[in-house]
Amino acid sequence: MSLRVAIAGGGIAGLATAAALLRAGHRPQVFERREAGAPAGGAMMMWPNGMAALEALGVGARVHAGATAVREVEFRAQHGRALARWSLAELGHVHVVFRAALLQALRDALPCECVATGTAVVSARPRADAVEFTLDDGSHHVADALVACDGVHSRLRAQLFGAVPPPQLHQLAWLATVPHDDLVAIPHGVAIGSLGRGQRFCAARIDDARVFWYATVNATRRPSEPGVVALAQVFGDWHEPVAALVRAAEDPAVERVGPVELGELAPLRHWCRGRVTLLGDAAHACLPDLGQGAGQALHSAVVLAQCLGEGDDVATALQRYEQRRRRAVADVMRTSRLVASLSMSEAVHIASLRELVVGALLPTLGFPRIESIAAHARA
Ligand SMILES: Cc1cc2nc3c(=O)[nH]c(=O)nc-3n(C[C@H](O)[C@H](O)[C@H](O)COP(=O)(O)OP(=O)(O)OC[C@H]3O[C@@H](n4cnc5c(N)ncnc54)[C@H](O)[C@@H]3O)c2cc1C
C-alpha cells in the first residue's frame, strides 16, 4: 500500500526518511521551515554504518565521490606529545563528508514537489485512521502517517509526549575549512585529534588545497568573544599545526561556522504516538563525540521504510520501527556520553586516564563497538 507520509523537517533525517519512503513506493511530503538554500556549513565524520545507510538510500556513490577517506587518526596532547595512532582500516573507511553536499545528495534523490520549504508544521494530532496536522500558514492537512524530524528542539516531540527534559548543553563547537599550505601540512588520509582539558581540536585533509577542522570547548568555558577569532585565546599556544589552523580561519574569506551549541537528550521512553513518530535528533540527539548522530538518523530512516513495508497497520509498523531502533540508539547515546566525559574532562586525573584509554583501550574496546553498530546497519 502506498502511504501519504508527512515529514516535519528537511534536515538529514527528514530528507533521508523521504528518500527511503519514496524508494519503498510511498508518497512522502517534507515540510521544512527554513527557506530553500539556507546555508549548511562544515563537515562531519561518516562511519561505515552511515555509509551503508546512504547506499541503501541510493545516494552512496554520489556521497562517496565527494567524501574524503580517513585511514588513520593521530592523537596528541595539547602541547604536542604523541598519545596514539589508530588505524581505521579494519572498520572499512571512515569518511569526512561536507554537510551541504550530503543534504544536496539527499535532496536530489527527491522530486521537487516532495519538499516544501519556508513551511513549518506547527501541530499534529493522530487519529485512529489518519493524522491531522497544521502548517504555519494556518492550513490543515491529513496524511496516513507523520514523521517528526524537527531536530533537537522538536516542537512536535513536546506536543506529543508532554514535557520531556530539555536537551542538556555540554559543548560549543567551531568548524572551518582552511587552505592547506606548508604551515599546516597534514598527510592525505590522516586525521589529527588533540586533547586538552575541556578542549579538543580535530582536523583532516580534504584534498590538495583544503583542511577541515573542528574545535570543541566545554560550554562552561565559553570564550569571551563569540567568533572564531576568539579561539586564538583557547588554542593559540597549542602544538602545530593546531595554532596555525586556528589562525588561518581568521581570514574572513574562510568558510567557518560557530559557536554551535552541542547538547544531548535524555533517552526517551517512547518515540511513537499512534500514526506519528520521531526520527533523528528529535528522537535521539546525542553528543557528537562518536560522530554518530547523522549516521543513526540515516539508519533509522532505512528501518522506518522497511517497517512500513511489512504489511501491518501504520501504528503497528511505527511501533516496530521504535522497537528495532530505540534501544540500539540509546546504547550509542550512552557510549557518546562516555567518550565525551573522557575526552572533554577538565580533571587532571581523568586527563591522565584518558591518555591511557586513547592509546590502548579505545581501539580494542571502542572499535568492536563501532563495528557492531555498523554490522547492525548492514543487517
Ligand atoms: C558540530 C556538530 C558536529 C557533528 N558531527 C557529526 C559527525 O561527525 N557525524 C555524525 O554522524 N553526526 C554529527 N553530528 C550530528 C548530526 O549533525 C545530527 O545528528 C543530524 O544533523 C541530525 O539531523 P536532523 O535532521 O535530525 O536534525 P536537524 O539537522 O536539526 O534538522 C531539523 C530540521 O527541521 C527543521 N524544523 C524544525 N522545526 C520544524 C517544524 N516545526 N516544521 C518544519 N521544519 C522544522 C529545521 O529547520 C531543520 O532543518 C554533528 C552535529 C554538530 C552540531
pLDDT in tens, 243-272: 999 988 888 888 888 888 888 888 899 999
Distance of CA 14 to the CA centre of its chain: 13
Give the tens place of pLDDT for each residue, 160-213. Answer: 988 777 778 788 899 999 988 766 678 889 999 998 888 899 999 988 888 999
* Nearest Cα residue to 23 out of 48, 60, 49: 60
- Distances in Å between the Cα of 80 and the Cα atoms of 192, 199, 242, 308 are 11, 14, 10, 51
| Residue 347 confidence (pLDDT) above 80 | no
- Which comes out higher in pLDDT, residue 53 or 168? 53
pTM of the model: 0.93
- Which comes out higher in pLDDT, residue 360 or 185? 185
Instruction: Output the pLDDT for position 8.
Output: 98
**260 pocket-lining for ligand 1 (C-beta < 6 Å):** yes
CATH topology for 168-261 is D-Amino Acid Oxidase; Chain A, domain 2 (3.30.9)
Please identify, by atom number, the ligand 1 atom nearest to the C-alpha of residue 285.
Answer: 19
How far is 43 from 47, CA to CA, in rounded Å? 13
How far is 100 from 41, CA to CA, in rounded Å? 6
Determine if residue 111 is left, alpha or beta; phi over 0 gives left, psi from -120 to 50 gives alpha, anything else beta. beta
* Mean pLDDT, residues 56-82: 92
* Residues paired with residue 44 on neighbouring β-strands, in sequence order: 97
Please say whether the beta carbons of 27 and 1 come within 8 A. no
Instruction: Output the pLDDT for position 232.
Output: 83
How far is 358 from 360, CA to CA, in rounded Å? 6
* Mean pLDDT, residues 345-362: 68
Instruction: Output the pLDDT for position 12.
Output: 97
| Residue 378 confidence (pLDDT) above 70 | no
Instruction: Output the pLDDT for position 337.
Output: 82
By 3-state DSSP, what share of the chain in percent is helix, strand and coil, each rounded to 5? 40, 30, 30
* Nearest Cα residue to 68 out of 51, 93, 88, 85: 93
The strand pair at 145-148 and 43-46 is best described as unpaired
* Residues paired with residue 29 on neighbouring β-strands, in sequence order: 6
Instruction: Output the pLDDT for position 259.
Output: 87
The strand pair at 72-77 and 276-278 is best described as unpaired
Using 50, 70 and 90 to split pLDDT, how confident is the model at 6?
very high
How far is 102 from 329, CA to CA, in rounded Å? 22
Coil, strand, or helix at residue 78?
coil
Please report, rounded to a whole number, the percentage of residues in the chain having pLDDT higher than 70: 90
| Residue 368 confidence (pLDDT) above 70 | no
Q: Which of 7, 12, 103, 260 best tests ligand 1's pocket when mutated (most atoms within 8 Å of CB)? A: 12
Query: Exposure pattern of 312-328 as b/e (b: 16+ CB <10 Å)?
Result: eebbebbbbbbebbbeb
How far is the centre of ligand 1, averaged over its atoms, from the C-alpha of 50 (Å)?
A: 14
Please say whether the beta carbons of 207 and 66 come within 8 A. no
Query: Exposure pattern of 14-39 as b/e (b: 16+ CB <10 Å)?
Result: bbbbbbbbbebebebbbbbbeeeeee
Q: Which of 30, 44, 70, 296 best tests ligand 1's pocket when mutated (most atoms within 8 Å of CB)? A: 44
Using 50, 70 and 90 to split pLDDT, how confident is the model at 65?
very high
**335 pocket-lining for ligand 1 (C-beta < 6 Å):** no
**293 pocket-lining for ligand 1 (C-beta < 6 Å):** yes
- Which comes out higher in pLDDT, residue 182 or 286? 286
Contacts of 160 (CB under 8 A, 6+ apart): 124, 148, 273, 276, 278
Query: Exposure pattern of 179-199 as b/e (b: 16+ CB <10 Å)?
Result: ebeeebebeeeebbbbbbbbb
How far is the centre of ligand 1, averaged over its atoms, from the C-alpha of 152 (Å)?
A: 7
Q: What is the mean pLDDT of the chain?
A: 88
Instruction: Output the pLDDT for position 37.
Output: 65
Using 50, 70 and 90 to split pLDDT, how confident is the model at 351?
low
How far is the centre of ligand 1, averaged over its atoms, from the C-alpha of 46 (Å)?
A: 14
How far is the centre of ligand 1, averaged over its atoms, from the C-alpha of 39 (Å)?
A: 13
Which residue's alpha carbon is nearest to atom 45 within ligand 1? 9
Where exactly are the structural domains of the chain? Answer: 4-167+265-378, 168-261
Instruction: Output the pLDDT for position 100.
Output: 92
- Which comes out higher in pLDDT, residue 82 or 137? 137
Q: Which of 152, 214, 281 best tests ligand 1's pocket when mutated (most atoms within 8 Å of CB)? A: 281
| Residue 375 confidence (pLDDT) above 70 | no
Report the range of poorest mean pLDDT among 26-30, 89-93, 335-339, 362-366: 362-366
CATH topology for 4-167+265-378 is FAD/NAD(P)-binding domain (3.50.50)
Using 50, 70 and 90 to split pLDDT, how confident is the model at 230?
confident
Please say whether the beta carbons of 2 and 25 come within 8 A. yes
Dihedral angle of Cα 73, 76, 81, 83, to the nearest 10 degrees: -60
* Mean pLDDT, residues 346-371: 66
| Residue 377 confidence (pLDDT) above 60 | no
Which residue's alpha carbon is nearest to atom 20 within ligand 1? 294
